Amino acid sequence: MSKWGLWALLARPVRTNAYLATGAALTLVAIAVAILGVIWTPQSPTGVDLLHRSTGPSAVHLLGTDQFGRDVLSRVMAGAWRSVSLGLSAMLLAAAMGVPLALAGAYWRGWVDAVLMRLVDAVLSIPSLVFALLIIVGLGSGHGQAIVALGVAAAPRFVRVVRGAALDAASQDYVVAARARGEGAFYTQYREILPNVWSPIVVEASIFAGFALMGGAALSYLGLGTQPPAADWGVMVREAQRYTFQSWWPLLAPAATISLAIVGFNLLGEGLRDRLHLVDRRADE
């Protein structure tokens, strides 16, 4: 065993647990805050306090107020739902589109697979945010449109990742056995192959949810996502940047929550990747 190998072994369990634990904690907090923000905030997110405009943190306004004297903490909480749900919805949409295509390609192979993968390559050669912008151009701006744009733009990533695992599963004898006893394409794809490719799907979904959250914020920041007066974190950053010199809290708070949520989803994905690979390897033995 080389020195490096030894270090990797020593570091591995700690790192795996830390990734997974931190990622899961951040993700859970983000989702909890998003749900809480819908039903309760410390102050009204739209309540204007003209006496305290652009103030720093205080006992009443824990994260200060914005240029209209609105409570930043309450606004971050209220905006969380739109940002987090956008990430999760775009992820679900991307998976819902990508997974069936990946399964179909892996099952039929041949020209179905070849055509599909060339399409995927073509789309992947365009940066996803640019591709999402192209879709927005077609659909118009808005929260729902942003979800569709990001989800569609990310579907090829799911196809690529899931197809790899699905090809492996599809080459196993249990798939040949299914065909030999006359199973249909649907049963073979969704009951024989799909249960064996959950791990890459879950990992990719988790990492992509963070990416979509960021993409959603970026679209809102550009004025193409959520439209004011509704606010998500991207809209908040956009509005706050003009008043940065009066108070930087309205800018820092949503920017920091965006970062924390992205880090959370990514760490969760990395942690899951280590953990699920470990489980799969054990299953093989």
Which of 131, 127, 91, 78 lies closest to 268, judged by CA? 91
- Residue 58 half-sphere exposure toward CB, CA atoms < 13 A: 12
The minimum distance between CB 208 and other proteins, in angstroms, equals 24
* 195 is an interface residue for other proteins by CB under 8 A: yes
Instruction: Tell me how many residues contact other proteins (CB under 8 A).
Output: 23
How is residue 74 written in tokens? 């309450």
Q: Which is nearer to other proteins, 40 or 187 (CB)?
A: 187
* 283 is an interface residue for other proteins by CB under 8 A: yes
- Which region, left, alpha or beta, applies to residue 229 given φ > 0 means left and ψ of -120 to 50 means alpha? alpha
Which span (26-34, 137-145, 174-182, 245-253) binds other proteins, by CB under 8 A? 174-182
In angstroms, the CA 125 to CA 160 distance is: 13
In angstroms, the CA 210 to CA 100 distance is: 22
Largest Cα span, the chain = 77
Q: Which is nearer to other proteins, 4 or 111 (CB)?
A: 111
Which span (34-42, 82-90, 189-197, 235-243) binds other proteins, by CB under 8 A? 189-197
- Residue 31 half-sphere exposure toward CB, CA atoms < 13 A: 12
Q: If you search the block for the tokens 């979904």, which residue do you land on?
A: 205
Output helix, strand, coil percentages for the chain, rounded to the nearest 5: 75, 0, 25
- Which region, left, alpha or beta, applies to residue 182 given φ > 0 means left and ψ of -120 to 50 means alpha? left
The minimum distance between CB 110 and other proteins, in angstroms, equals 6
Instruction: Name which of residues 93 to 132 contact other proteins (CB under 8 A).
Output: 110-111, 113-115, 118
Q: Which is nearer to other proteins, 77 or 159 (CB)?
A: 159
* 245 is an interface residue for other proteins by CB under 8 A: no
* 242 is an interface residue for other proteins by CB under 8 A: no
How is residue 52 written in tokens? 């305290």
* 174 is an interface residue for other proteins by CB under 8 A: yes
* 180 is an interface residue for other proteins by CB under 8 A: yes
* 172 is an interface residue for other proteins by CB under 8 A: yes
Which span (57-65, 66-74, 190-198, 246-254) binds other proteins, by CB under 8 A? 190-198
In angstroms, the CA 241 to CA 117 distance is: 42
* 28 is an interface residue for other proteins by CB under 8 A: no
Please give the single-letter amino acid code of residue 241: Q
* 177 is an interface residue for other proteins by CB under 8 A: yes
* 22 is an interface residue for other proteins by CB under 8 A: no
Q: Which is nearer to other proteins, 196 or 246 (CB)?
A: 196
Q: Is-contact 51 237, C-beta < 8 A?
A: no
Site residues (vs other proteins, CB under 8 A): 1, 9, 110-111, 113-115, 118, 172-174, 176-177, 179-183, 192, 195-196, 283-284
